[in-house]
Amino acid sequence: MSTSTLTHPLIFDRKDFSDDMLLKLYESLVLPRRIEEKMLILLRQGKISKWFSGWGQEAISIGAVNALAQDEFILPMHRNLGIFTGRNIPLEKLFAQFQGKASGFTRGRDRSFHFGSIEHHIVGMISHLGPQLAIADGIGLAYKLSEEKKVTLVFSGDGASSEGDFHEGLNVAAVWKLPVIFVVEHNGYGLSTPSEEQFAFKNFTDKGPGYGMESVRIQGNNVLEVYAAIKTLAEDIRQNPRPVLVEAITFRMRGHEEASGTKYVPKHMMEEWARLDPVDNYENYLEEIGVLDAKTKEQINKKIKKAINDGLDLAFAEPAISPDLQVELNDIYAPFSQEVISAPEDGPKSEKRFVDAISQGLEQSMERYPNLVLMGQDIGDYGGVFKITDGFKAKFGGERVRNTPLCESAIIGAGLGLSIKGYKAMVEMQFADFVSVGFNQIVNNLAKIHYRWGQNADVVVRMPTGAGMAAGPFHSQSNEAWFFHTPGLKIVYPSNPYDAKGLLNAAIEDPNPYLYFEHKGLYRSITAEIPDAYYTTEIGKAALTKEGETVSIITYGMGVHWAIKVVEELGVSADILDLRTLLPWDQEAVKATVKKTGKVIFLQEDCLTGGIGAEICAWISEHCFTHLDAPVMREGSLDTPVPFAPSLEKQFLPVERFKEKLESLIKF
Ligand SMILES: Cc1ncc(C[n+]2csc(CCOP(=O)(O)OP(=O)(O)O)c2C)c(N)n1
C-alpha cells in the first residue's frame, strides 16, 4: 500500500468544532495511547500475556466513538481499544478483563477485547473477525424495525475483508438498507500479508458501489477528519437508513501482536507513517492553533496517568479466579426455567400433517411474540420450499417474514444481532445440509456468547433434514451430531406432529439458541390429531412411544417410525424411547428403560461413527452397567455420504441392519 493518498503532514480542519470538543477529542485520543504504552511495559515484564496493538490507528476509534451517540452500538475489532475507553468503560474492569480476573467482562473465560457490554453498547468480536459484520446487520435491522433512528458501526480490517462473511454482511445490509457504517481500517497488512496479496482491487471505495452502497475514503490518522466524516454520515443515516462503507487509510505500526514483530515491513514505510502519527500530529496542531497549552497538556496527561495506575492497582490486587465448577456449567445457557404450557383438555383438535403442525406452531408463536422475526430463503411470498410459511408474509408483513439473500452465515449472525436488541429470530435453512456455510456463526457465536460475556442468543435455526427421498448427498444429510458436540446449543428433533408443534413453540420461547430438526420424510407422510391451541412440549424430556418388556430401543426422528415398524414385524415386546430433545438429552428416561429391560439398542438415521448413539451408548455402559444383560448395541447409516440412487440409499440407511441387530440382541 502506498502512502500517496495521504497528505504530509496531516492537514486538520476544525470546521465549527468548539475548543472544548477539540480538547475532548485530544484527551480521548491520548488515553488509549498511554494505556498501550503501559501495556507494552507490562508485557515485557511478563505481567500480561498478549497484546494487540492499535498504535498509530487510534484516531479511527476515537473519531468514530465520539461521532456516535453513546447508546448506538459499536462492534469493534482487536485494535480498537479507543472504542472501549471512549465508551468510558471503567479501566479497572478493562484491565481485569485483560488479566483474566473475575471482575473482567468475561470472568476469565475469554481474553483481550473478546467481550461485549450491553451497558456500553459494545459487542466484542470473536477471533474469526468477519462474523462481526452480520451481527451489526441484525442490530441495524432491529433499529429499523423499531423505528429507532439510530445507526450502528462495525469495524473490519482489510485482511478480514477477504472473508466470505465480509461480502455477506455488506450485501445483506445493502439489500435491506440497514443503518450500518462499515469501517474498514486499511492498515496495509493482515498479519504479515500485505494488501496486494490479499485482494486485487486498489481501494475499498471501488468495492462499495459493487454492493450498491456509498463508500467514502478518509485519512484514518486524522482524528478530525474521521470524526467529521462519521458524524455527518451518522446524522444522515439516522434519517435515511442505509449502509455506507468507510475506508479509513492508516498503518499498523507494531506487529500483528507483540510476539510477531514487523520484520516484513519495509523500513521506509515505518518511517513515513511514524511522521503521520495521529496523536503527535493532532497534539502539534492543537498547540499551533493555541487550543492546547503546556499546562492543559500536563493536566490531561497527569489525569490519564493516574486513572491508568489506579485501574491497574485495582486489577492487580484482585486475586486470580478460583474455579467453581457449578458456576462454569451454569453459565453455558441463559437462565430459563420452562413452564410447560398445555392446550385446554377439552379444546378443539384437528388432524394435522407433520408439516402443518410445524406451520401452525410457527404461526402461533408469531402471534404470541410480536418481536419474533422469521428469516430464510424464499420464505416470503413463495412460502418456503416446503410451504411452512405459506401466507405468513400476507398475515405478518414483510418486515417480520423476511426473504433473505442466499447467505446462511450472515442471516444467522443477523439473528444474533436481533437478539442483542431483544428480538427473537427464527432462521430457516432451506435444507439442513446448507447449515455448513453458517456453521461458524452457530458453533462459535450463538453457542458461546452466553458463557463468554452473558449475552443470550435467542435464535432458532430450523433444519429440514433427512434422507429417503433420493435427493443425494447434499439434500439428505443428518447433521445433528455436528452440533451435539457444541456446548451452549440446544437441539430438538420431533418425530410426530404433536411434538413438532410443541417443541418448536418451546424452542422459540426459550431465549437460548436452538437447532430444530424436522424430517422432510415426515412432513406429509404422517398425521395426528393435535390441539388447535398454542402449547409447548417439555424440553429435555424423552417420551416412551411404546412400552414393552424384552428390549429398549432408544431413537429419535425417523428412527421412531422405523423402530415401530420393525417391532411390529418381529412381534417383539419393546420399549421405544423417543429422545425428542438431543441436547440436553434425558438421562433419567434412558436409565429407566435400560433398568427395566436390561437390553438396549440405539437407532439413528445419521452415520454411525461419532453420532448421538455413540455418546448415549457410552453413557449407558458407564452408568447402567449393572442393569445390562447384553452388550449395548447401536445401528445407524453407513459411514458414507448419502447416495442418490434409491437402491444405494436403501442400503445406506440402517433399517435392515437394525432389524438383524435387534433380533441378535433379543437372542443374546
Ligand atoms: C478466520 C480467521 N482466520 C485467520 C485468523 C488469524 N488472524 C487473526 S488477525 C489476522 C489478520 C487480520 O488482518 P486485518 O483484518 O487486516 O486486521 P489487522 O490485524 O490488520 O488489524 C489473522 C490472519 C483469524 N483470526 N480468523
Closest ligand 1 atom, residue 52 Cα: 19
Residues flanking ligand 1, CB < 6 Å: 79, 127-129, 157-160, 185, 187, 189-191, 252, 256
Q: Best of 52, 251, 256 to mutate for ligand 1, by most ligand atoms within 8 A of CB? A: 256
**Whether the predicted model's global pTM rises above the 0.75 cut:** yes
Q: Which residue's C-alpha comes closest to atom 2 of ligand 1? A: 128
3 — pLDDT class (breaks 50, 70, 90): very low
Residue 316's pLDDT is: 96
Determine the average pLDDT of the residues in 616-622.
Answer: 98
Ligand 1 centroid to residue 199 C-alpha, Å = 14
Closest ligand 1 atom, residue 161 Cα: 15
Ligand 1 centroid to residue 482 C-alpha, Å = 25
Q: Which residue's C-alpha comes closest to atom 5 of ligand 1? A: 128
φ/ψ region of 297 (left if φ > 0, alpha if ψ in -120 to 50, else beta) reads alpha
Ligand 1 centroid to residue 158 C-alpha, Å = 9
Ligand 1 centroid to residue 116 C-alpha, Å = 19
Residue 388's pLDDT is: 98
338 — pLDDT class (breaks 50, 70, 90): very high
Determine the average pLDDT of the residues in 436-451.
Answer: 98
Cell matching residue 121: 453498547
DSSP per-residue codes, 271-325 = HHHHHT-HHHHHHHHHHHTTSS-HHHHHHHHHHHHHHHHHHHHHHHHSPPPPP-H
As a whole number of angstroms, the distance between CA 57 and CA 29 comes to: 10
In the chain, the percentage of residues whose pLDDT exceeds 70 is: 99
Is the pLDDT at 449 greater than 60? The verdict is: yes
Determine the average pLDDT of the residues in 604-625.
Answer: 98
Is the pLDDT at 601 greater than 90? The verdict is: yes
Closest ligand 1 atom, residue 157 Cα: 15
Dihedrals phi, psi of 371, to nearest 5 degrees: -95, 10
Is the pLDDT at 421 greater than 60? The verdict is: yes
Q: CA nearest 577: which of 611, 608, 601? A: 601
Q: Give the tens place of pLDDT for each residue, 97-154.
A: 999 999 999 999 999 999 999 999 999 999 999 999 999 999 999 999 999 999 999 9
Is the pLDDT at 6 greater than 70? The verdict is: no
Is the pLDDT at 1 greater than 70? The verdict is: no
Determine the average pLDDT of the residues in 321-344.
Answer: 98
- Cis before residue 9, ω within 30 degrees of 0? yes
Residue 258's pLDDT is: 87
Dihedrals phi, psi of 659, to nearest 5 degrees: -60, -45
Ligand 1 centroid to residue 191 C-alpha, Å = 6
Determine the average pLDDT of the residues in 612-641.
Answer: 98
Determine the average pLDDT of the residues in 226-236.
Answer: 98
Residue 2's pLDDT is: 43
Q: Which residue has the cell 487550543?
A: 291
Determine the average pLDDT of the residues in 424-445.
Answer: 98
Closest ligand 1 atom, residue 189 Cα: 20
Query: Is 78 an active-site residue?
Result: no
Catalytic entry in 475, 519, 561, 627: 475
Closest ligand 1 atom, residue 191 Cα: 11
Q: Best of 55, 61, 129, 254 to mutate for ligand 1, by most ligand atoms within 8 A of CB? A: 129
Least confident stretch, 3-7, 284-288, 301-305: 3-7
Is the pLDDT at 658 greater than 60? The verdict is: yes
As a whole number of angstroms, the distance between CA 429 and CA 341 comes to: 27
Determine the average pLDDT of the residues in 461-465.
Answer: 98
Paired with 491 in beta bridges are: 515, 583
Is the pLDDT at 329 greater than 50? The verdict is: yes
Residue 5's pLDDT is: 52
As a whole number of angstroms, the distance between CA 109 and CA 321 comes to: 10
Q: Best of 1, 166, 167, 191 to mutate for ligand 1, by most ligand atoms within 8 A of CB? A: 191
DSSP 381: T
Is the pLDDT at 222 greater than 70? The verdict is: yes
Determine the average pLDDT of the residues in 241-252.
Answer: 97
Residue 7's pLDDT is: 56
In the chain, the percentage of residues whose pLDDT exceeds 90 is: 97
DSSP 117: B
Closest ligand 1 atom, residue 440 Cα: 1
Ligand 1 centroid to residue 162 C-alpha, Å = 10
DSSP per-residue codes, 540-609 = T--EEEE--SSEEEEE-THHHHHHHHHHHHHT--EEEEE--EEET--HHHHHHHHHHHS-EEEEEEEEST
Buried b (16+ CB within 10 A) or exposed e, 403-415: bbeebbbbbbbbb
Residue 259's pLDDT is: 86
Q: Give the tens place of pLDDT for each residue, 264-273.
A: 999 999 999 9
**Average pLDDT over the chain, rounded to whole?**
97
Q: Which residue's C-alpha comes closest to atom 13 of ligand 1? A: 190
Determine the average pLDDT of the residues in 511-525.
Answer: 98
Q: Which residue's C-alpha comes closest to atom 4 of ligand 1? A: 128
Q: Give the tens place of pLDDT for each residue, 163-199.
A: 999 999 999 999 999 999 999 999 999 999 999 999 9
**CB 594, CB 665: distance < 8 Å:** no
Q: Give the tens place of pLDDT for each residue, 56-110.
A: 999 999 999 999 999 999 999 999 999 999 999 999 999 999 999 999 999 999 9
Residue 8's pLDDT is: 62
4 — pLDDT class (breaks 50, 70, 90): very low
Q: Which residue's C-alpha comes closest to atom 3 of ligand 1? A: 128
Cell matching residue 389: 410459511
